[in-house]
Amino acid sequence: MDSVTTNYVLDLNAGLTQVLADGTNTYLYGNGRIGELQPGGFAYHLGDALGSVRQLADASGGVTLARSFEPYGNTLTSTSAGSSNSVFQYTGEARDSTGLQFNRARYYASVTGTFLTADPSRQERNLFQYAGSNPVNRTDPSGLFSREIVAKSFGYSTFEDALTAYASDSGGILTGKKWGWVATLLAAEDGDVLRVGSPVISDLHPYVHYKSAERIWLRDCDEIMIGSRPLLDYTNYVVNTPNPRELPIIWRDTSASYYVLVKNRAPGYLRYVDGSVTTDYPDFHSVDVSLWTGLIGGGPLNIEFSGVVDRFGNKYLVGGASFGIPGGGLTYSEGYVCSPYANCLSGQIDKASTRDDSNLVNTITGACISAGLVVDWGALLTRCASDTGAITFSTGVALSFGVSGTAGLYIGRDDSLGWNWAIRDRLDGVTLEDIH
């Protein structure tokens, strides 16, 4: 740039810094740059498919500047009305008085169609090559993996097609709408190191378990590889694979939701989490013991005990009795609280909202009646005196069917046992809107 007083603003749409003012001109932004202040008032940028500023138009719609470009960006024609001008030209990037174009990572010479310095991301076979020698369909503003390469590595012709597959419930590329994974790929460069992780909730102290680190690289300039796997294989067999450190759990997604990108060119790392308006992490979990004590009143009676911890780290001891069929066993259970209870009947489980722990304490310690079936795994529907309820899923070695009554005792709190941090990470994570 010609001026040393340039101010920058982050363009959230492109993920790159944009010029806010350059000491002479002031620029207008929405999702991207809209226009700039000219002597006669604001002039608005009219672009083409590559983002090149082909025309400037005034507030009345009159064209005050018109340009055309050769394929690699050299100016072919330029006509203006009066003093109308703009430094933003080919692909919407700034061109200085020397004729060089500033593409954020390095300077580009449109006359020769090459960069002045080597590609810092090391993606091109020819490190001075522009846009893979395909300037009609590609731009090269940052040195990061292009959206086109991400889409192609997933087997789609356009990035929007890939996003549609992500958002689909019919399978697509991923299950669980892992937008943090997409954001990680868009921020990656050749040579970065990747680790993916999953929250482990069924252990004594919940934590994120990370799988082994893998290097990201570009094969034949147009396919993203992670370690020895193509991107699609890595997504299906690593990112989407259930966490082996969890018990066999079928009611929630235990595959990766955390992504750490250790940068190759500069020290530091980037961390992304899949985002959602709700999460399927449970409100509480427990270890349950049930014992058949014999026949009472002509029917079998089972005595039950559970050690329970909720997502805030509150601890409980819950006891009760069930009347149904002879049963017993040992299970691991996870529960979701409904408030009011009628939401349980309609399937409106309040999955990890911003609810505070008082509602959980009242539900777990209150007098409750449950009905359900557990054979290796199963589900229970619970209603409590406080008009709250819970849907609980269980897995283990047990046989239980009938109606049970329980009451709990609050015995203290240990924040290290809670996993509310994972819920907050998910609710604050990357969403589809962020990707767009």
For the chain, counts of helices (H) and of strands (E)? 8, 25
> In angstroms, rounded to a whole number, what is the distance separating the alpha carbons of residues 293 and 264?
63
Query: For the ranges 80-84, 169-173, 253-257, 262-266, which has the lowest average pLDDT?
Result: 169-173
Average pLDDT over residues 235-241: 92
Candidates 402, 330, 336; CA nearest to 371 is: 402
3-state secondary structure of 85: coil
Q: Are 395 and 376 in contact (CB under 8 A)?
A: yes
For 147-169, give one letter per residue: b (16+ CB within 10 A) or e. bbbbbbbbebeebeebbebbeee
CATH number of 284-415: 2.40.128
pLDDT attached to residue 325: 63
Report CA 251 to chain centroid distance, whole Å. Answer: 20
Mean pLDDT of the chain: 81
Look at residue 175 and tell me whether its pLDDT is greater than 80. no
- For the record, the structure tokens of 334 come out as 């996870």
Residue 144 pLDDT class (50, 70, 90 cuts): low
Report CA 44 to chain centroid distance, whole Å. Answer: 34
pLDDT attached to residue 341: 72
Alpha helices (H) along 154-281: 159-167, 179-187, 231-234
Average pLDDT over residues 8-35: 63
Query: For the ranges 94-103, 198-207, 345-354, which has the lowest average pLDDT?
Result: 345-354
pLDDT attached to residue 9: 44
Q: Are 409 and 156 in contact (CB under 8 A)?
A: no
Write the pLDDT tens digit of every residue in 369-403: 777 666 667 777 777 777 777 888 888 877 666 66
> In angstroms, rounded to a whole number, what is the distance separating the alpha carbons of residues 54 and 291?
79
| Cα separation of the two ends of the chain | 29
- For the record, the structure tokens of 349 come out as 């489980």
Name the strand (E) or helix (H) holding 217: strand 214-219
Q: Which residue has the tokens 């692909």?
A: 91
Candidates 196, 266, 200; CA nearest to 231 is: 196
- For the record, the structure tokens of 190 come out as 């050749």
Q: Are 304 and 319 in contact (CB under 8 A)?
A: yes
Candidates 369, 102, 112, 426; CA nearest to 252 is: 426
Q: Which residue has the tokens 């004590």?
A: 293
> In angstroms, rounded to a whole number, what is the distance separating the alpha carbons of residues 310 and 418?
7
Residue 66 pLDDT class (50, 70, 90 cuts): very high
Look at residue 8 and tell me whether its pLDDT is greater than 70. no
Alpha helices (H) along 115-190: 147-153, 159-167, 179-187
Q: Are 275 and 180 in contact (CB under 8 A)?
A: yes
Residue 315 pLDDT class (50, 70, 90 cuts): very high
Q: Is the dihedral of CA 233, 434, 169, 273 positive or negative?
A: positive
The CATH 2.40.128 portion of the chain extends over 284-415
Q: Which residue has the tokens 């007098």?
A: 367
Spatial neighbors of 258 by CB under 8 A, at least 6 apart, are: 180, 196, 197, 198, 199, 208, 210, 271, 272, 273, 425
Candidates 412, 409, 429; CA nearest to 421 is: 429
Write the pLDDT tens digit of every residue in 69-128: 999 999 999 988 777 888 899 998 889 888 999 887 788 999 999 888 877 666 566 778
Cα dihedral angle (326, 328, 332, 336), rounded to 10 degrees?
40
Q: Are 324 and 300 in contact (CB under 8 A)?
A: yes
Max alpha carbon distance in the chain (Å)? 101
- Which value, in Å, is the radius of gyration of the alpha carbons in the chain? 29
> In angstroms, rounded to a whole number, what is the distance separating the alpha carbons of residues 336 and 352?
8
Candidates 8, 165, 39, 30; CA nearest to 102 is: 8
> In angstroms, rounded to a whole number, what is the distance separating the alpha carbons of residues 410 and 118?
64
